[in-house]
Amino acid sequence: MAETGNNVDRAADMLLKGGLVAIPTETVYGLAANALDEEAVLSIFEAKQRPFFDPLIIHVHSREAVGKYANLHDNRLLNLAKTFWPGPLTLLLPKKDNIPSIVTSGLERVAVRIPNHELTLKLLEKLDLPLAAPSANPFGYVSPTRAQHVEKQLGHKVNYILDGGPSKVGLESTIVGVEDGSVCVYRLGGLSLEEIEKIVGKIELRINNSSDPKAPGQLKNHYAPRKPLFVGDLKGLAERHKNKKIAVIHFGKKELPSNLIAFDLSPNKDLHEAALNLFRFLREADDTLAEIVICESLPDEGLGRAINDRLKRASVQ
């Protein structure tokens, strides 16, 4: 069991000593270490069993702090930063030399964000250091949206869990950068494309759908529960697997056979609520007696796009 609480001073002490602390954010919980301490960053990769080619996001408390570690000169990215930070937006920015290359897996750009969570902002302000933090789950598994999720899987590996309650967005941040002169989105997430395009106009999607680690973060099989997950038409899937115990995750009220273990992402079909519940339900479905999990695709708009992206990566294909 990891020590758990909402004591920012305690969390700061652990981080200054090179420890690992789980931090709450509005998107998902992060597994944080001092980004300027290579040993500490190394221990993040070890704890998660994460390959070194997959770089980390650094978290800071203000735009001034961003400027210490990266160049935020592009006007379009600056406008996004002004509009959406603190919030579920990560920017890929040219890095400064003080960021160790283990953080960026040797890449020229560093991923930066200002998370929107009171406790974590307090912690970042107190430390005045960047915190490298991937989602606090074993590599490839579903991201945690509650302190208990972190405890269950990484409790024995972290020094402290800063418990800030359930995450309010429930999906990881949207990753944006500029490449070949265009604003590109590299990962769909808690900030929708529509919101981004309102500020910077048409963007380009550069979402990697292969298992090629050249464009990290987008490995094909990711965010997956341990039980096989099938995504598609619920009736067809239930029929195809009728000899198995099935957990079903659906969107909006449905008539379903009573032998199914059911989770409704949002009875009123609200995409924000669905995003909030997705990872929790994937975990809860994993903990049932079901042999497989089936889930339907959501409308491909707003946060629905990011939810569908996660489902696709989590499913057996």
Residue 170 binding partner per list ligand TXA, Mg ion, none, with a CB distance cut-off of 5 to 8 Å that depends on partner kind: none
* 104 contributes a contact to Mg ion by CB under 5 A: no
In this complex, which beta carbon is closest to ligand TXA, that of residue 87 or of residue 304?
87
* 116 contributes a contact to ligand TXA by CB under 6 A: no
Stretch that binds Mg ion, among 133-141, 193-201, 203-211, 285-293 (CB under 5 A): 133-141
Q: Which of 68, 84, 47 is nearest to 127 (CA)?
A: 68
Q: How far is CA 131 from CA 69, 115, 150, 176, 180, in A?
A: 11, 11, 17, 19, 29
Q: How far is the CB of 133 from ligand TXA (least distance, A)?
A: 5
Query: Site for Mg ion (CB under 5 A): how many residues?
Result: 1
Under a CB-based contact definition with an 8 Å cutoff, are residues 314 and 224 in contact? yes
Under a CB-based contact definition with an 8 Å cutoff, are residues 223 and 170 in contact? no
Write the DSSP symbol of residue 18.
T
Cis amide prior to 225 (ω within 30 degrees): no
Beta strands in 151-223 (DSSP E): 160-162, 174-179, 182-187, 204-205
Per the structure block, which two tokens stand in for 13?
């002490």
Site track 48-87 with ligand TXA (rule: CB under 6 A), x = hit:
------xxxx------------------------------
Residue 277 binding partner per list Mg ion, ligand TXA, none, with a CB distance cut-off of 5 to 8 Å that depends on partner kind: none
Stretch that binds ligand TXA, among 61-69, 76-84, 109-117, 303-311 (CB under 6 A): 109-117
* 90 contributes a contact to Mg ion by CB under 5 A: no
**Rule CB under 6 A: which of 88-107 touch ligand TXA?**
90, 92, 104, 107
* 135 contributes a contact to Mg ion by CB under 5 A: yes
